[in-house]
């Protein structure tokens, strides 16, 4: 075997090992950040008994995620990926340390008042630690391009999805236990400990900053260093618009998240109308395993030759499920529908990541991933804040005392839970129509052609 081939094999082994280390490190950090987020939500409700306060926590997370994505992406592009990940963990550690100090110094009764300034200072500081962790997720998506060969990236993205699923599963188990045992005290202590360990662990992992064979930035993007433009939204838009169909893909995902805000706003209310809070919590813990199964399936089978088509086909199934599971008040239908949903979500996420990794120039991937995150996440808070009042004031009365009782109540059922169910059904119908149109659209054909062209080029090289 030639020296060149030997070195290539050695590099492959080292990058695979680095990727595994990154997954483990990300699993630990993601799990603790999700735990802090969930724990704050539980703790705020237990302290204040205010649903509005818990809703504001979710709103803070979603709005901040949407606003920060573009800037975070620019940081990933401008600096070494490993350095950015380390700084992200260190900054999160700092926020948690400040929150821990506030928690110890603030009298307990202060946190029981929803209007307390110190309560919201504590919440915002803690959530800043959670949000800073989003830098890591953007960096990890670009490092798949660096560490994994072209033909294996779809499977690697499946493992990234599995990591996220495990994080949710662990979070659902430990967040409630920690809050019950000591409020936010143990949560923040564990958060600081895990983040310190993650920084120490990653310090010993060697991570290249560019794909093999690319030692310098693409000349097309050399001017961004000279101008000192840190975010360069205009340049990012130019790249996105320059790839046929990519802007439409991001817009499609944004629209899906707009409809997905319905789940965020109403799923807990619908589930709790069918079962106890204990059973509902256990059910979501079990459903997290379906997310893991989906991620492992992607890692095993990949996404086929056309992730663009697969993405839309998955959405056809997801919106069909959204139409079907609410047709009858049934725990079995709800569980089956959500299980299908959780298994397929990793396919949709991996497909979008693989498309971006293949079609977007590496020097701009951080910005484009951050831009996509901001645009896509911007829709969910709007729906989540709007759909609750709309459901409460229009659909629930429609299915309890309104015209819906006579029109469809005989077979659909009546009551407040059926009002919520009707919103799910209508959402699914809209999603199906939009996805069907997308499958027949010119941007879909253009992006599919662009992806296929990149695939042929990569195979030839």
pLDDT of 163 reads: 76
Q: Does 233 map to a domain?
A: no
Residues 273, 157 share a domain: no
Nearest residue to 356 via CA among 371, 375, 345: 371
Q: Is 295 exposed, middle or buried (0-12, 13-18, 19+ CB in 10 A)?
A: buried
Q: Does 281 map to a domain?
A: yes
pLDDT of 157 reads: 78
From CA 285, how far away is CA 333, in angstroms rounded? 17
Sign of the dihedral through C-alpha 314, 447, 162, 63: negative
Residues 250, 195 share a domain: no
Question: What letter would DSSP give residue 244?
Answer: T
Tens of pLDDT, residue by residue over 419-446, are 989 999 999 999 899 999 988 888 888 8
Q: Does 225 map to a domain?
A: no
Residues 196, 143 share a domain: yes
Tell me the two tokens of residue 220: 């097309």
Tell me the two tokens of residue 427: 């959402």
> 239 near 360, Cβ under 8 Å?
yes
Residues 368, 306 share a domain: yes
302: helix, strand or coil:
coil
Q: Does 213 map to a domain?
A: no
From CA 40, how far away is CA 61, in angstroms rounded? 11
pLDDT of 128 reads: 92
Query: In this structure, what CATH number is given to the domain that contains residue 190?
Result: 1.20.1250.20
Tens of pLDDT, residue by residue over 108-139, are 788 888 888 899 999 999 999 998 988 888 88
Q: Does 230 map to a domain?
A: no
pLDDT of 13 reads: 53
Q: Could you count the other beta carbons within 10 Å of the beta carbon of residue 86?
A: 16
pLDDT of 87 reads: 92
Residues 6+ apart with CB under 8 A from 148: 15, 19, 156
Tally of domains in the chain: 2
Domain of 74 in residue numbering reads as 7-205
Half-sphere exposure for 102 (CA within 13 Å, toward CB): 20
pLDDT of 89 reads: 92
From CA 308, how far away is CA 348, in angstroms rounded? 9
Residues 300, 192 share a domain: no
Low-confidence ranges of the chain (pLDDT < 50): 1-12, 215-216, 219-229, 457-461
Q: Does 214 map to a domain?
A: no
The Cα-based distances of 436 to 252, 382, 444 in angstroms read 12, 24, 11
Q: Does 25 map to a domain?
A: yes
Half-sphere exposure for 191 (CA within 13 Å, toward CB): 35
Q: Does 226 map to a domain?
A: no
Residues 43, 115 share a domain: yes
Residues 352, 416 share a domain: yes
């Amino acid at each position: 075997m030639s020296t060149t081939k030997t070195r290539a094999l050695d590099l492959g082994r080292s990058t695979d090992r680095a990727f595994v280390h990154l997954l483990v490190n990300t699993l630990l950090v993601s799990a603790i950040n999700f735990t802090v987020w969930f724990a704050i939500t539980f703790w705020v409700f237990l302290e204040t008994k205010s649903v509005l306060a818990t809703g504001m926590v979710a709103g803070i997370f979603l709005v901040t995620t949407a606003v920060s994505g573009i800037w975070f992406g620019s940081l990933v592009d401008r600096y070494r990926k490993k350095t950015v990940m380390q700084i992200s963990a260190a900054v999160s550690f700092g926020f948690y340390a400040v929150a821990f100090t506030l928690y110890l110094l603030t009298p307990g009764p202060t946190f029981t008042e929803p209007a307390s300034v110190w309560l919201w200072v504590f919440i915002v500081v803690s959530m800043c630690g959670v949000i800073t962790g989003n830098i890591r997720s953007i960096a990890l998506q670009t490092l798949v391009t660096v560490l994994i060969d072209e033909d294996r990236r779809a499977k690697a993205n499946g493992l990234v999805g599995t990591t996220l699923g495990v994080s949710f599963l662990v979070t659902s188990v430990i967040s409630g236990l920690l809050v019950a045992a000591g409020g936010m005290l143990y949560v923040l202590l564990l958060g600081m400990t895990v983040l310190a360990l993650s920084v120490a662990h990653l310090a010993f992992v060697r991570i290249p900053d560019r794909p093999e064979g690319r030692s310098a930035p693409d000349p097309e993007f050399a001017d961004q260093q000279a101008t000192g433009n840190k975010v360069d939204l205009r340049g990012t838009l130019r790249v996105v618009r320059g790839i046929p169909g990519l802007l439409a893909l991001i817009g499609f995902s944004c629209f899906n998240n707009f409809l997905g805000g319905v789940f965020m706003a109403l799923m807990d209310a619908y589930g709790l109308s069918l079962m106890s809070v204990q059973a509902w919590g256990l059910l979501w813990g079990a459903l997290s395993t379906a997310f893991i199964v989906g991620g492992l399936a992607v890692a095993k089978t990949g996404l086929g030759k056309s992730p663009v088509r697969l993405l839309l086909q998955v959405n056809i199934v997801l919106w069909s499920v959204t139409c079907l599971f609410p047709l009858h008040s049934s725990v079995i239908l709800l569980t089956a529908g959500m299980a299908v949903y959780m298994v397929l979500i990793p396919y949709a996420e991996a497909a979008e990541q693989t498309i971006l990794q293949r079609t977007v120039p590496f020097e701009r991937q951080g910005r484009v991933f951050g831009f996509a995150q901001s645009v896509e996440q911007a829709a969910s808070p709007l729906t989540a804040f709007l759909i609750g009042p709309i459901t409460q004031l229009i659909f629930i009365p429609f299915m309890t005392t309104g015209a819906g009782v006579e029109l469809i109540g005989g077979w659909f059922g009546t009551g407040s839970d059926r009002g919520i169910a009707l919103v799910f059904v209508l959402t699914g119908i809209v999603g199906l129509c939009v996805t069907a149109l997308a499958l027949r659209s010119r941007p879909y054909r253009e992006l599919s052609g662009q992806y296929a062209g990149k695939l042929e080029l990569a195979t030839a090289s």
